[in-house]
Amino acid sequence: MIWLVGNKGMLGIEMQNALKYKNFSFISSDLEVDITKIEKLREFVEGKEIDWIINCSAYTNVEKAEDEAALAFQINAEGVKNLSEIAKEKNAKLIHISTDYVFDGESLSLYYEEDEPNPQNIYGLSKLAGENLVKKTLKSHFIIRISWLIGFYKSNFLYSILKQIENKDSLNIVSDQFGSPTFAADLVEFIVFIIKQDSNEFGIYHFSSEGKISWFDFAEKIYKLAKQYKITEKNVQILPVPSSEYPTKAKRPPNSYLSKEKLSTTFGIKAPFWLESLELFIKELKEII
């Protein structure tokens, strides 16, 4: 049986839909089962045979984390350690979602799994602490680092751009921060693959779309496809601006493009190109709105 933790978040909803569609035997939980309290977790799984735990829960508010460091670490580090302990007690395998923010973004190249982390904000520090606690506690783990998550459920960059298009005549979008989006549907497909294979290829993996782009590049293409598929009729200007024009409390990595070479060599999986996934997303969005 699979235990999906965090089934009401952007990734969790999509993950739960896939588990239902593919007829997996699973249970799920969200805030009602507090991952920061290990006894609550033990109560929830008592008498249940758990083979896999998929952790989609996290503290993800990058800006607020600068003022709520204790809470961020409680959820992203201690909570993750608790789930690792439960996995160990149940002899289960853990799939844990981490982030590109464990890197400082100063590299001019792409980031590999074995590159030295150097987080620059509280969110990144808390997520790295979670990774380290998983590795220390449980051998049978998959840590999947992702970037720029996009999904049909909950707010994200793509929805923000579509909303701004309707409300503004021009949009200023940062053009000097680079990476690649991770579409929830693609990530869910990879997670399902790992479980179906009952894989023992444990360790850290990077997963995001192929193709290094800036937030500006991404926004520009979102707008063009939204026009093409008639999600919007509005004419707007998308303008590139430096990140210095939008100072934030939490420092963002200027480059967080992740290598997927290990993904390919280990599993024979090639991450989809970002533009292909974006067009599929826009097409499906057109059908449901």
Stated length of the chain: 289
256 and 109 in contact (C-beta within 8 Å)? Answer: no
Clarify whether 123 is annotated catalytic: yes
Torsion angle, alpha carbons of 9, 10, 13, 14, to 10: -150
Q: In sequence order, what DSSP letters do the residues of the chain get, joined into one string?
A: -EEEE-TTSHHHHHHHHHHHHTT--EEEE-TTS-TT-HHHHHHHHTT---SEEEE------HHHHTT-HHHHHIIIIIIHHHHHHHHHHHT-EEEEEEEGGGS-S--SSPBPTTSPP---SHHHHHHHHHHHHHHHH-SSEEEEEE-SEE-SSS--HHHHHHHHHHH-SEEEEE-S-EE--EEHHHHHHHHHHHHHHT----EEEE---BS-EEHHHHHHHHHHHHHHTTS-----EEEEE-GGGS--SSPPPSB-PBP-HHHHHHH---PPBHHHHHHHHHHHHHHH-
Residue from 59, 101, 111, 123 carrying the catalytic annotation: 123
Give the burial class of 52: count Cβ atoms within 10 A of its Cβ; 0-12 exposed, 13-18 middle, 19 or more buried.
Answer: buried
Q: Which residues are known catalytic residues?
A: 123
